[in-house]
Chains A and B, each alone.
Chain A
């Protein structure tokens, strides 16, 4: 049975159809990549799934339950956690206190939440920076912190919005290993990613969005070979070179 089932999901902003009739399903334990050119509607899909926006039409079933209309904090408690493309740490709190706020979703006592937060901070490789103020972290560390906070809410589904963006090659390799490890532990992942190397190596399946519509889906290999995808990314003339 699938963990997440999205059907006919539609969101309009004024005259712009940001997401149009999207169908999507994600099996338990799966890592699904969501890719598409800039402005394709990927982040809007995340905002719809995580309750920050409400859809105009369509259904979202999470764990067999219709979750349209639930608030972000309710979805978090149900086990859906997200990161933000533009990271949003609590800048004046330390790394571990940032994660503690998230851990409090599962542990009501401050001591247990702190223990759990420390474990997650170690897990994402921020152990040495645990007591540093979040506002002073490098971008790579802030991305790890964003991931740590989402993990600390103990999700069954993790929505990752461009966790590789802005990282250098070494940092990307580390992040890929980290995300793969998290998925291997049984947490399902929906991954928005622009870094093709990362998304191709991580995803079991990939869904491609363009102008709010699904134009392709399949294994990374299938999607890479699909000319509609190449067209969407590189323009029509790349697929049909103009005759000289």
Chain B
């Protein structure tokens, strides 16, 4: 298994030198959404707290880094941590409201969506942050400004982000924190009786998850050179973040990556393919059908199903 992972990382590391720019772009999206999915996985997958408003953290992180860069001349390499910290503060507020007052299931979903919508409406209406026009970032091609002439640089940054978040999740899984998260997902009251401070553990998960997601916002902003309130704070982005880990296997280390390798190319290919045929929007239907199929046939996601297959074969 270890060897397999090393091999996969090695292939990904040399791939840009053999691949065309279209494939590189697709890979960047795979890595980036795997990263966001991995960040969500901590609170949504392991702890089982279904946040459906993670776009808010991407938006906060992206806006913070972009504004700091434009108005204070602060390098996005520093701004990304500040953006992450601000996202973590928002995550703490949402988490406290949700966990302290016992909002579970649907109610927590609604709370997280509501906060993301509040952020979206604010960004739309405050002209100081660009208002409805959004924020545009001037391209300088200066690596210090998180901008690169060569697409391959973005590729490596996105790959590094994905590997970093995966390493974090793997470390969590092997420590007490991870054991507590998994147990909380299955029975919170039982955890309390066994000495687990569930409020604190869930808060830690939410803060870490929103911090990492916020850091990703900087990449979003400086890769796409623009931030549109409806795009970065909107429900569709939150859904994009959630479905990869769910399809791949929520609460597993490999789930978000596998999910992203399945869904991101599918979205990309079906989008271009159907658009050429004049079927704009059909890719969303394909997406929807796939989601329904996963929920029906692989309720725990693709990764656990793959593991079962791999175990069955030698036996």
Contact = CB atoms under 8 A, between A and B. Distances in A.
B90 to A, nearest CB: 26
Nearest to A109: B176
B193 A101 contact: no
Interface stretch (A6-14, A84-92, A121-129, A235-243): A84-92
Nearest to B187: A88
B179 interface: yes
A110 B179 CA distance: 9
Interface in B221-278: none
Interface stretch (A24-32, A70-78, A198-206): A70-78
B278 to A, nearest CB: 46
B186 A92 contact: yes
| Of listed B174, B180, B197, residue having the most chain A CB within 10 A | B197
Interface in B186-201: 186-187, 189-198
B194 to A, nearest CB: 4
Contacts of A97: 179
A93 B182 contact: yes
A230 B263 CA distance: 68
Contact of A81 (B179, B193, B196, B198): B193
A82 B193 contact: yes
Contacts of B196: 73, 101, 104-105
A108 interface: yes
Interface residues of B, number: 19
Contact of A90 (B175, B183, B192, B193): B183
A74 B200 CA distance: 12
A22 to B, nearest CB: 21
B195 A105 contact: yes
Contacts of A88: 187, 189-190
Contacts of B186: 90-93
Given A92-B186, A110-B179, A105 B194 contact: yes
A210 interface: no
Contacts, number: 76
A50 interface: yes
Interface in A32-89: 50, 52, 71-74, 76-77, 81-82, 84, 88-89
Nearest to B179: A101
| Of listed B180, B186, B195, residue having the most chain A CB within 10 A | B195
Interface in A89-107: 89-93, 97, 100-102, 104-105
Contact of A101 (B175, B189, B191, B197): B191
A71 B176 contact: no
**Contact count band on A:** 20 to 34
B193 A50 contact: yes
Q: Summarize B's interface: helix, strand, loop or mixed.
A: helix
Given A90-B187, A90-B190, A100 B195 contact: no
B142 to A, nearest CB: 45
A152 B193 CA distance: 12
B253 to A, nearest CB: 16
B194 A149 contact: yes
A153 interface: yes
Given A90-B183, A101-B179, A108-B176, A84 B198 contact: no
Nearest to A77: B195
B182 A84 contact: no
Contact of A153 (B182, B183, B187, B195): B195
Contacts of A110: 174-176, 179
Nearest to A105: B195
A72 B187 contact: no
Contacts of A92: 182, 186
A104 B179 contact: yes
Contact of A84 (B175, B176, B180, B190): B190
Contact of B197 (A71, A108, A150): A71
A52 B189 contact: yes
A167 B196 CA distance: 29
Contacts of B176: 104, 108, 110, 113
A233 to B, nearest CB: 29
A101 B182 CA distance: 10
Contacts of B187: 88-90
A117 to B, nearest CB: 11
B255 to A, nearest CB: 15
Contact of A102 (B182, B195, B198): B195
| Of listed A82, A90, A100, residue having the most chain B CB within 10 A | A90
A153 B186 CA distance: 19
Interface in B162-184: 174-176, 179-180, 182-183
16 contacts: A52-B189, A73-B191, A73-B193, A73-B198, A76-B193, A81-B194, A88-B189, A89-B190, A90-B182, A90-B186, A90-B190, A93-B182, A101-B179, A104-B180, A110-B174, A153-B195
Given A72-B193, A82-B193, A92-B186, 4 more contacts: A81-B194, A100-B179, A104-B176, A113-B176
Interface of B: 174-176, 179-180, 182-183, 186-187, 189-198
Which 5 A-B residue pairs are closest in the complex by CB-CB distance? A105-B195, A76-B195, A72-B192, A88-B190, A90-B186
